[in-house]
Structure 1
Amino acid sequence: MAQLQQNAVRNRLLRAMSPDDFALLQPHLQPMATELRQTLIAPNEPVTRLFFPEVAYTSIVSEGSGGRIEVGLIGREGLVGASPVLLDSGTTPYHEFVQHPGEVLGIDAVSFCAAVDHSPTLRRLMLRYLQTKLVQARHTAYVNGAFNMDVRLARWLLMCHDRLDGDEIVVTHEFISLMLGVQRSGATLAVQTLESNGLIKAARGRITVRDRDRLVALADSSYGATEAEYARLIGGV
């Protein structure tokens, strides 16, 4: 089977690598189709495989006695499983699963670590990526504490929209309530508010972005900090 070519991949981290660094990973990258809600990283279990999303994105969810809430989102700008492997913790307490199905490029952790250990420039890029993840997590905490549900939903829809080619986001009100950390009725009300203002169109199991510019305006400073950090450290959106 022919090896993947760097100019053909869609993952932005892979495209940002030098040709030499990409060549270190190239023989080990395996295309994989993903399914909705498929677990990629299980909580508190050894991470033996990492995933570069191509056409898919993954939710990072914290689960406990108080319920579940999304604490991160990884699409084709990133690498699923990066933190526990690069930081040598081996496991993570978070559940990382496919929120939007598509295709990822899988790589075993041993081969990935060998490449990172071999190349200082690859390690530098990966550490820069970890910085963007840290900014996303901290900004999410700020947003959850400082903004109302309508703003938080606008931000989340924009983040999903960034990781798609079209305007349609496959999502249920149940998952939106998980993301917002509210009851389903509260999530439904937030969706209805955005729809009544013409920003989105909601149908069963999906939301279509109708006016991105107004979504950005509604999101205000809740959206953009993580994206700006990624552009600064890795490359423009």
Structure 2
Amino acid sequence: MSPRSPAKPQPNPQQNHLLAALSPDVQSRLFPHLELVHLPLRALMYESGTSMSHVYFPTDSIVSLQYVMENGASTAILVVGNEGLLGITLFMGGESTPSRSVVQSAGYAYRLPRPQVKEEFNRHGQLLLLMLRYTQALITQVAQTAVCNRHHSIDQQLCRWLLLSMDRLSHNHLTMTQEFIGHMLGVRREGVTQAALKLQQLGVISYSRGLIKVIDRDQLEHLSCECYEVVKKETAILLTYLPQRQLIKNPEDIPVVVLKTQ
């Protein structure tokens, strides 16, 4: 995590939908304590068992929470983007987390120190309500991910992951390796490659030289298992502050995922 580069345009805290949903009074108390940080791809935010000093509110980045086994194998249990925050254990009574947090899509986030988080949470006001609702949405995502990883194909899991990622970005591209996606899904890189090629043959995506373009999002949702729809509906019910997803009408707005083979 490094300070923001001066050459980059400064993101706005209200690009994070949770921060934007807070009342002006709450924002006036919290915003002066926010610090903008750059989150490079694959940066380790938190390791399992380490103490957490901040919560992070992504603006245009995605963080993957992964459970790591003793043999080093890992699987993503949820993703966090501009819809919420990273670090719910700080206000749920814990100081650390059993999972590892890794940047899945590079970008920026605003971080808030632990004392300010707890002080505002203990007011039992708006932030408390929003965070509890967000926590419930995360619980749904974790539970559905567990079911999906056990009962659904790699093809369906890839569709679900692509949809969840696009829903949590303010831009239309991702850059990462096939190996990294395999780690998140708990499958071999070859399985990711085969699943992407199948989607291309069906006309859902174009796949060339490591570049994936989503051509037909409706078909992508159709090919995904019910797990994506369950998470999306529960999130919409609980997180009423989220904007409605816009339908893609301009071909230039088609979401892009860049997959590097190395």
In the superposition, the TM-score normalised over structure 1's length comes to 0.91
Could you list the runs of 5+ residues in structure 2 that have no partner in the other structure? 1-11, 245-262
User: Equivalent residue for 1:4?
Assistant: none
Q: CA deviation at 1:113?
A: 0.8
Counterpart of 1:118 in 2: which secondary structure? coil
For 1:130, what is the secondary structure of its paired residue?
A: helix
Out of 178, 182, 188, the residue aligned to residue 183 of structure 1 is 188
Pair 1:206–1:52, CA change in 2 (3 A): farther
Note if contact 1:172-1:204 (Cα within 8 Å) is conserved in structure 2.
no
> Which residue number in structure 1 is paired with residue 80 of structure 2?
74
Alignment partners' CA distance in 2, 1:206 and 1:92: 34
Q: Which residue of 2 aligns with 1:196?
A: 201
Over residues 129-165 of structure 1, what are the superposed CA-to-partner deviations in whole Å (9 max), with x where a residue is unaligned? 1000000000111111221111111010011111224
**1:28 pairs with one of 29, 33, 41:** 33
Q: Distance in 2 between matches of 1:209 and 1:68?
A: 27
Q: Distance in 1 between matches of 2:158 and 2:55?
A: 29
Which stretch of the first structure deviates more once superposed, 92-101 or 162-171? 162-171
Could you list the per-position Cα deviations for residues 63-91 of structure 1 after superposition, in whole angstroms to 9, with x for gaps in the alignment?
Answer: 11341111110000010112x11111110
| Structure 2 residue 90 is matched with structure 1 residue 85 | yes
CA drift at 1:234? 1.9
Comparing both structures, which one devotes a greater share of its residues to helix?
A: 1
Q: Which residue of 50, 61, 76 corresponds with 2:55?
A: 50
Between the aligned partners of 2:48 and 2:160, the Cα distance in structure 1 is: 26
- Measured against aligned partners, the alpha-carbon deviations of 1:87-143 in whole angstroms (never above 9, x if no partner) come to 111101111121111110011111111111124222111111100000000011111
Letter in 2 for 1:202: Y
- Structure 1 CA distance for aligned equivalents of residues 57 and 236 of structure 2: 18
Residues 8 and 123 (structure 1 numbering): CA distance in 2 closer, same or farther, change over 3 Å?
closer
- 1:11 equivalent in alignment to 2:16: yes
Q: CA offset at residue 204 of structure 1?
A: 4.9
Counterpart code for 1:27: P
Cα gap change, 1:54 to 1:10, in 2 (>3 Å): same
Q: 1:14 deviation in Å?
A: 0.8
Helix, strand or coil at the partner of 1:223? helix
Q: Scaled by the length of structure 2, what TM-score is found?
A: 0.82
Percentage of pairs with the same residue: 33
Q: Is the 8 A contact 1:168 1:208 kept in 2?
A: no
| Aligned twin of 2:154 | 149
Q: Which amino acid in structure 1 is aligned with residue 228 of structure 2?
A: Y
Q: What RMSD in Å do the two structures reach over aligned CA positions?
A: 1.7
Specify every segment of 5 or more residues in structure 1 that has no aligned partner in the other structure, as ranges: 1-6
Answer with 114-123 or 89-98: which moved more: 114-123
Cα contact 1:60–1:95 (8 A) shared by 2: yes
In the alignment, the residues of structure 2 paired with residue 17 and residue 204 of structure 1 have an alpha-carbon distance, to the nearest angstrom, of 43
| Matched residue, 1:99 | 104
For 1:203 and 1:148, the matched residues in 2 are separated by: 23
Q: Is the 8 A contact 1:167 1:210 kept in 2?
A: no
Moved over 4 A (4+): 203-206
Specify whether residues 173 and 31 from structure 1 end up closer, same or farther in structure 2 by C-alpha distance, changes over 3 A only.
Answer: same
Does structure 1 retain, via aligned residues, the 8 Å contact 2:34–2:110? yes
1:168 and 1:209 in contact (8 A); partners too: no
Distance 1:206 1:44 in 2: 36
Distance in 1 between the 2:172 and 2:56 partners? 24
Conserved 8 A contact 1:169-1:207: no
Contact 2:34 2:111 in 1 (8 A): yes
The worse-fitting range, judged by mean Cα deviation, of 227-236 and 102-111 is 227-236
Q: 2-side partners of 1:212 and 1:120: how far apart? A: 38
